[in-house]
Amino acid sequence: MSEGAKTDAIHVAASETAADVREVTRQRVVEAAADLLAREGRDAVTTRAVAAAAGTQPPAIYRLFGDKDGLLEAVVEHGHATFLATKHRDTRPQDPVEDLRAGWDLAVEFGLANPELYALMYSDPRRAMASAAFQAGMQILLGRIRRLAAGGWLRVDETLAAALIHATARGAVLTWLSLPEDQRDPALLTTLRESMVAAVTHERPVVQDAGLADAVRTLQALLPGQTTLSSAEQHLLSEWLDRLAADG
Amino acid sequence: MSEGAKTDAIHVAASETAADVREVTRQRVVEAAADLLAREGRDAVTTRAVAAAAGTQPPAIYRLFGDKDGLLEAVVEHGHATFLATKHRDTRPQDPVEDLRAGWDLAVEFGLANPELYALMYSDPRRAMASAAFQAGMQILLGRIRRLAAGGWLRVDETLAAALIHATARGAVLTWLSLPEDQRDPALLTTLRESMVAAVTHERPVVQDAGLADAVRTLQALLPGQTTLSSAEQHLLSEWLDRLAADG
DNA sequence: CACATCACGATAACATCGATAGCATCAATG
DNA sequence: CATTGATGCTATCGATGTTATCGTGATGTG
């Protein structure tokens, strides 16, 4: 019996290591694909290139993932999982609205840091919801939203809140990435975030009475139509107005 | 001489029709590709399938567009142009904030009606800004924003306003399309739109009724509190504002 | 009008990629 | 030990992007 138990244990251990080996190579292939995606773009992710980078052969990919789409799905899953890991870091029950902001920022920063992966994860409408790690992340998000609701902050449906958070984050990342680098204004991200907070919660945004900047903007828009000032004067005036708007 | 003129005319007419023929087949190929894209998805857009649908041969695509990417770029351009056509419809100078809402709705509805085309046009960050028709649409949008600014409605930079409008629309379309049909809440779209309006405009115009003199007055009233400009600069600025107010 | 030029239709071909077949090897199992 | 099954490896097939090539008819020229 002890012998039987021993062999059983050995067998179990052996099959475990066999499954582990399979899982390890699977992980190696996924990481090779993710690396290739991040470094050389989506078109560089061919079955042959991934197999070569992972030190195996093309048919192995089909034995592991069934399909190239299966491989990409695994890469997406891996992306959601790594993002989820950074998300789990701090879950201290501080201000739930502040938690909402932090979670949104984290998601956006992840997208900006991994543009190709983000495009694969979110730009294809069909693949978006299918991931298990994505569902786990969704549960975390819904937990945050639930806490908002419990605190009396929530302004809309919980599901609508989740959709709003996703939509603003997606729009933020994709628009940011589509802008040329010299036109990327960080205010785009913060404004979208506060916009999202205002739409989801009851927290009134600090109504800045920044009348100066508004007056400057209005005047700037109306300046081209005036005929009083010379072009040199108008040019200098416009410069000063810019400075006023920037510092105001 | 009459003979020379006649042959010249014929030559011109002939070369014109030749160029027209080229343009017509080009258009036919683009529309075939757009049709294929809309009806059978992105993967169905192969050079052979497009050529067959357009009644020509694969090499013709390369003579017309140089590249498959060139063909897709032409499809994107075509998409922007058709959207631009629907946009030009009504440009009545009504309430500029209402114009903003209408323009945003139009853009979102276009995306929802043409999901595959929209993904091709906007989900790839690089291809987004390169289109001529897109730049034309951007000019229309900037015109709308300029009118907001002239009316004293604008709350942020004009370029930031444009980015916010694009980002919210993109997030709205892509998130809507990624949701299963039974989870699509129209409130997602209206909430995002109103969120965008709240981020871009003031509920009430800060500078009432948009006169140059009014903007000048507002600015004059707020100038003493600023610390950006030197006293000399502020003095000259104040003089110019006086002249603007007097002549406006 | 005769001739050169050039764009276009059409076919074939090449390289790459996704996907599969087939075979050898090697470990696990009864 | 024989069997089963998974894996490494090569070769291969069909599809796709892309190019070469040839013939033809239109275009432009002397």
Q: Give the separation between CA A203 and CA A198, rounded to whole angstroms.
A: 6
pLDDT tens profile A195-225: 999 999 987 654 455 567 777 777 777 777 7
The pLDDT of residue A9 is above 50: no
Q: What is the pLDDT of residues B88-125, one digit of tens each?
A: 766 667 789 999 999 999 999 999 999 999 999 997 77
Query: How many Å apart are B50 CA and D16 C1'?
Result: 12
The mean-pLDDT minimum among A50-64, A230-244, B39-53 falls in: A230-244
A21 touches strand C (CB under 7 A): no
pLDDT at residue A245 tops 90 = no
Question: Which residue's structure tokens are 């070569």?
Answer: A52
User: CA B135 – C1' D28 distance (Å)?
Assistant: 38
Flag whether residue B32 sits within 8 Å of chain A, measured between CB atoms.
no
Query: What is the mean predicted confidence (pLDDT) over B61-81?
Result: 96
Give the tens place of pLDDT for each residue, B141-152: 999 998 888 887
% of chain B with per-residue pLDDT over 70: 84
- Which pLDDT value is given to residue B90? 64
CA triple A44-A46-A48, angle to 5 deg: 125
Q: Which residues in window 48-107 of A are less than 7 A from strand C by Cβ?
A: 48-49, 58-59, 62, 67-69
Q: pLDDT band at residue B127, thresholds of 50, 70 and 90?
A: confident
DSSP three-state, residue B122: helix
Listed by start position, the domains of chain A span 3-66, 81-200, 212-247
- Is residue B169 within 8 A of residue B104, CB to CB? The reply is yes
Sequence-distant (6+) residues with CB within 8 A of A136 are A80, A84
Interface membership of A155 toward B (CB under 8 Å): no
- B10-49 pLDDT, tens digit each: 344 444 566 777 889 999 999 999 999 999 999 999 999 9
pLDDT at B20: 73
Note whether A77 and A137 are within 8 A (CB).
no
Q: Does the distance separating the beta carbons of B167 and A175 come in below 8 Å?
A: yes
**Distance (Å, whole) CA B108 – CA B168:** 9
B187 or B7: which carries more pLDDT confidence? B187
CA distance B171 to B123: 10
User: Do B196 and A221 touch, CB atoms closer than 8 A?
Assistant: no
Judge if A3-66 and A81-200 fold alike in CATH terms.
no
Mutation for testing the A interface, residue in B222, B223, B243, B247 having most A CBs under 10 Å: B222
**Residue A16 pLDDT greater than 70, yes or no:** no
B1 falls in which pLDDT band (50, 70, 90)? very low
Q: How many Å separate Cα A211 from the centre of its chain?
A: 34
Fold of the domain spanning B81-200: Tetracycline Repressor; domain 2 (1.10.357)
Contact B50, B70 (CB under 8 A): no
CATH class of A3-66: mainly alpha
Q: Does A152 touch chain B (CB under 8 A)?
A: no
- Return the number of CB contacts < 8 Å for A and B: 206
B102 contacts B87 by C-beta, under 8 angstroms: no
Q: What integer pLDDT is reported at residue B205 of this predicted model?
A: 63
Q: Smallest Cβ distance to A199: which of B177, B195, B207?
A: B195
Chain B residues 213-232 within an 8 A CB cutoff of chain A: 215-216, 218-219, 222, 225-229
Touching check for A237 and chain B: CB below 8 Å?
yes
**Among residues 87-116 of chain B, which lie with CB inside 8 Å of chain A?**
115
